[in-house]
Amino acid sequence: MVSIIGGILCLDRVVVQAMISRPIVSAPLIGLILGDPYTGLIAGAFVELFWIDRLPIGAYIPPNDSIVGILITGSCIGTAGFIGNLPDGLIVLAMLLLLPLGNMAQRMELWLIAKNEGLAREALMNGLDGDIRSISKAHLTAMARYYLLSCGFILLALPASTALLTWFYPRLGPVIVRALDVVFTLLPLIGAGVVLNTINMRGMIPIFCAVFLITTAIMSFLKGV
Protein backbone atom coordinates (compact mmCIF):
# COMPACT_ATOMS: atom_id res chain seq x y z
CA MET A 1 0.00 0.00 0.00
CA VAL A 2 2.82 2.42 0.88
CA SER A 3 4.70 1.64 -2.32
CA ILE A 4 1.61 2.14 -4.51
CA ILE A 5 0.66 5.47 -2.93
CA GLY A 6 4.30 6.52 -2.57
CA GLY A 7 4.83 5.94 -6.29
CA ILE A 8 1.86 8.20 -7.05
CA LEU A 9 3.22 10.92 -4.75
CA CYS A 10 6.66 10.68 -6.37
CA LEU A 11 5.10 11.21 -9.79
CA ASP A 12 4.50 14.80 -8.74
CA ARG A 13 8.26 15.39 -9.02
CA VAL A 14 8.08 15.12 -12.81
CA VAL A 15 4.43 15.43 -13.90
CA VAL A 16 2.03 17.73 -12.05
CA GLN A 17 4.60 19.38 -9.76
CA ALA A 18 1.97 20.55 -7.28
CA MET A 19 4.49 20.12 -4.41
CA ILE A 20 2.70 17.10 -2.90
CA SER A 21 5.90 15.13 -3.44
CA ARG A 22 7.75 17.36 -0.95
CA PRO A 23 8.63 15.39 2.22
CA ILE A 24 6.70 17.83 4.41
CA VAL A 25 3.55 16.77 2.51
CA SER A 26 4.18 13.20 1.36
CA ALA A 27 5.56 11.87 4.65
CA PRO A 28 2.57 13.03 6.77
CA LEU A 29 0.22 11.58 4.14
CA ILE A 30 1.94 8.21 4.45
CA GLY A 31 1.84 8.56 8.23
CA LEU A 32 -1.88 9.31 8.08
CA ILE A 33 -2.48 6.19 6.01
CA LEU A 34 -0.51 4.13 8.55
CA GLY A 35 -2.30 5.70 11.50
CA ASP A 36 0.53 7.95 12.75
CA PRO A 37 0.56 11.36 11.01
CA TYR A 38 2.73 12.85 13.79
CA THR A 39 5.70 10.63 12.94
CA GLY A 40 5.21 11.47 9.26
CA LEU A 41 5.19 15.19 10.07
CA ILE A 42 8.39 14.94 12.11
CA ALA A 43 10.22 12.80 9.54
CA GLY A 44 9.02 14.93 6.63
CA ALA A 45 10.03 18.18 8.35
CA PHE A 46 13.52 16.88 9.13
CA VAL A 47 14.12 15.60 5.60
CA GLU A 48 12.70 18.82 4.12
CA LEU A 49 15.08 20.94 6.18
CA PHE A 50 18.06 18.67 5.47
CA TRP A 51 17.84 19.04 1.68
CA ILE A 52 16.02 22.36 1.37
CA ASP A 53 19.06 23.91 -0.34
CA ARG A 54 19.06 21.25 -3.09
CA LEU A 55 16.72 22.71 -5.69
CA PRO A 56 15.99 21.15 -9.11
CA ILE A 57 17.34 24.10 -11.09
CA GLY A 58 18.20 23.60 -14.75
CA ALA A 59 19.55 20.13 -15.44
CA TYR A 60 20.41 19.43 -11.78
CA ILE A 61 18.51 16.53 -10.22
CA PRO A 62 18.61 16.72 -6.39
CA PRO A 63 18.58 13.67 -4.09
CA ASN A 64 15.16 12.05 -4.00
CA ASP A 65 13.92 13.42 -0.69
CA SER A 66 10.37 12.24 -1.46
CA ILE A 67 11.36 8.57 -1.31
CA VAL A 68 13.51 9.14 1.77
CA GLY A 69 10.68 10.82 3.67
CA ILE A 70 8.29 8.01 2.74
CA LEU A 71 10.78 5.31 3.74
CA ILE A 72 11.67 6.91 7.08
CA THR A 73 8.00 7.32 7.98
CA GLY A 74 6.98 3.83 6.91
CA SER A 75 9.94 2.03 8.46
CA CYS A 76 9.65 3.88 11.81
CA ILE A 77 5.93 3.16 12.12
CA GLY A 78 6.49 -0.43 11.04
CA THR A 79 9.32 -0.88 13.54
CA ALA A 80 7.20 0.61 16.33
CA GLY A 81 4.65 -2.12 15.67
CA PHE A 82 7.31 -4.74 16.40
CA ILE A 83 9.15 -3.19 19.37
CA GLY A 84 6.03 -1.73 20.99
CA ASN A 85 6.93 1.99 21.00
CA LEU A 86 8.36 4.72 18.78
CA PRO A 87 11.11 6.63 20.60
CA ASP A 88 12.48 9.86 19.18
CA GLY A 89 15.88 8.30 18.69
CA LEU A 90 14.39 5.74 16.30
CA ILE A 91 13.58 8.52 13.83
CA VAL A 92 17.17 9.76 14.06
CA LEU A 93 18.54 6.27 13.50
CA ALA A 94 16.26 5.84 10.50
CA MET A 95 17.53 9.12 9.04
CA LEU A 96 21.17 8.10 9.51
CA LEU A 97 20.58 4.76 7.82
CA LEU A 98 18.20 5.81 5.05
CA LEU A 99 19.43 9.22 3.89
CA PRO A 100 21.95 7.55 1.50
CA LEU A 101 18.97 5.99 -0.30
CA GLY A 102 18.12 9.49 -1.51
CA ASN A 103 21.35 9.49 -3.51
CA MET A 104 20.62 6.01 -4.85
CA ALA A 105 17.18 7.16 -5.99
CA GLN A 106 18.83 10.24 -7.51
CA ARG A 107 20.98 7.97 -9.69
CA MET A 108 17.85 6.05 -10.63
CA GLU A 109 16.23 9.28 -11.82
CA LEU A 110 19.33 10.24 -13.81
CA TRP A 111 19.35 6.82 -15.48
CA LEU A 112 15.65 7.16 -16.27
CA ILE A 113 16.17 10.62 -17.79
CA ALA A 114 18.86 9.23 -20.07
CA LYS A 115 16.57 6.33 -20.96
CA ASN A 116 13.72 8.69 -21.83
CA GLU A 117 15.83 10.68 -24.26
CA GLY A 118 15.02 8.06 -26.85
CA LEU A 119 11.31 8.63 -26.24
CA ALA A 120 11.83 12.39 -26.59
CA ARG A 121 13.51 11.94 -29.96
CA GLU A 122 10.70 9.64 -31.10
CA ALA A 123 8.09 12.17 -29.94
CA LEU A 124 9.86 14.90 -31.91
CA MET A 125 9.81 12.81 -35.07
CA ASN A 126 6.16 11.92 -34.46
CA GLY A 127 5.39 15.62 -34.07
CA LEU A 128 6.96 16.36 -37.44
CA ASP A 129 4.80 13.60 -38.93
CA GLY A 130 1.69 14.87 -37.15
CA ASP A 131 1.25 11.60 -35.23
CA ILE A 132 -0.39 12.94 -32.06
CA ARG A 133 -1.32 9.48 -30.76
CA SER A 134 2.30 8.33 -30.71
CA ILE A 135 3.37 11.50 -28.88
CA SER A 136 0.76 10.79 -26.21
CA LYS A 137 1.95 7.21 -25.97
CA ALA A 138 5.54 8.37 -25.43
CA HIS A 139 4.46 10.68 -22.60
CA LEU A 140 2.45 7.93 -20.91
CA THR A 141 5.34 5.48 -21.28
CA ALA A 142 7.73 7.89 -19.57
CA MET A 143 5.25 8.40 -16.72
CA ALA A 144 4.73 4.66 -16.34
CA ARG A 145 8.47 4.06 -16.17
CA TYR A 146 8.93 6.64 -13.43
CA TYR A 147 5.99 5.32 -11.42
CA LEU A 148 7.07 1.69 -11.67
CA LEU A 149 10.66 2.47 -10.70
CA SER A 150 9.59 4.62 -7.73
CA CYS A 151 7.02 2.05 -6.62
CA GLY A 152 9.52 -0.80 -6.99
CA PHE A 153 12.22 1.11 -5.11
CA ILE A 154 9.90 1.67 -2.13
CA LEU A 155 8.56 -1.89 -2.33
CA LEU A 156 12.09 -3.30 -1.98
CA ALA A 157 13.56 -0.76 0.44
CA LEU A 158 10.71 -0.45 2.95
CA PRO A 159 10.62 -4.07 4.21
CA ALA A 160 14.42 -4.18 4.29
CA SER A 161 14.73 -0.92 6.24
CA THR A 162 11.96 -1.94 8.67
CA ALA A 163 13.66 -5.27 9.30
CA LEU A 164 17.02 -3.54 9.81
CA LEU A 165 15.62 -1.03 12.32
CA THR A 166 13.65 -3.73 14.14
CA TRP A 167 16.81 -5.80 14.56
CA PHE A 168 19.26 -2.96 15.19
CA TYR A 169 17.54 -0.49 17.53
CA PRO A 170 16.76 -2.88 20.44
CA ARG A 171 20.41 -3.95 20.45
CA LEU A 172 21.76 -0.43 21.01
CA GLY A 173 23.26 0.38 24.38
CA PRO A 174 21.71 2.94 26.74
CA VAL A 175 24.43 5.48 25.98
CA ILE A 176 23.80 5.34 22.22
CA VAL A 177 20.04 5.52 22.74
CA ARG A 178 20.43 8.66 24.85
CA ALA A 179 22.79 10.11 22.23
CA LEU A 180 20.17 9.53 19.53
CA ASP A 181 17.56 11.27 21.69
CA VAL A 182 19.90 14.27 22.08
CA VAL A 183 20.49 14.41 18.33
CA PHE A 184 16.72 14.43 17.84
CA THR A 185 16.53 17.70 19.77
CA LEU A 186 19.41 19.14 17.74
CA LEU A 187 18.08 18.25 14.28
CA PRO A 188 15.76 21.29 14.11
CA LEU A 189 18.75 23.53 14.86
CA ILE A 190 20.75 21.91 12.06
CA GLY A 191 17.80 22.37 9.71
CA ALA A 192 17.43 25.99 10.81
CA GLY A 193 21.07 26.59 9.91
CA VAL A 194 20.53 25.11 6.45
CA VAL A 195 17.42 27.24 5.90
CA LEU A 196 19.08 30.47 7.03
CA ASN A 197 22.08 29.74 4.83
CA THR A 198 19.73 29.15 1.89
CA ILE A 199 17.61 32.28 2.17
CA ASN A 200 20.63 34.40 3.18
CA MET A 201 18.36 37.28 4.20
CA ARG A 202 18.67 38.84 7.64
CA GLY A 203 15.06 40.01 7.67
CA MET A 204 13.82 36.43 7.33
CA ILE A 205 15.40 35.25 10.60
CA PRO A 206 12.62 36.56 12.93
CA ILE A 207 9.97 35.17 10.59
CA PHE A 208 11.61 31.77 10.52
CA CYS A 209 12.00 31.72 14.32
CA ALA A 210 8.33 32.57 14.76
CA VAL A 211 7.23 29.85 12.33
CA PHE A 212 9.56 27.36 14.01
CA LEU A 213 8.15 28.10 17.48
CA ILE A 214 4.55 27.85 16.24
CA THR A 215 5.29 24.57 14.46
CA THR A 216 6.98 23.17 17.58
CA ALA A 217 3.95 24.09 19.70
CA ILE A 218 1.58 22.44 17.22
CA MET A 219 3.65 19.25 17.07
CA SER A 220 3.83 19.09 20.87
CA PHE A 221 0.06 19.44 21.04
CA LEU A 222 -0.45 16.69 18.45
CA LYS A 223 1.92 14.40 20.29
CA GLY A 224 0.01 14.99 23.53
CA VAL A 225 -3.28 14.18 21.80
pLDDT digits (tens, 9 = 90+) for 175-203: 898 888 888 877 776 666 666 666 655 55
pLDDT at 208 over 80: no
**Prediction pTM value:** 0.81
32-41, 56-65, 69-78, range with the lowest pLDDT: 56-65
- Mean pLDDT score across all residues of the chain: 82
Between CA 187 and CA 39 the distance in angstroms is 15
Give the number of other Cβ atoms within 10 Å of residue 122's Cβ: 16
24-57 tens-digit pLDDT: 899 999 999 999 998 998 898 888 877 776 776 7
Which residues, other chains included, contact 188 with Cβ-Cβ below 8 Å and sequence gap of 6+? 46, 49, 212, 216
Give the number of other Cβ atoms within 10 Å of residue 164's Cβ: 16
DSSP 190: H
Question: Phi-psi region for residue 22, left (φ > 0), alpha (ψ -120 to 50) or beta?
Answer: beta
User: Which residue blocks in 34-131 are alpha helix, DSSP H?
Assistant: 37-50, 65-83, 88-129
**In the prediction, which pLDDT does 1 show?**
92
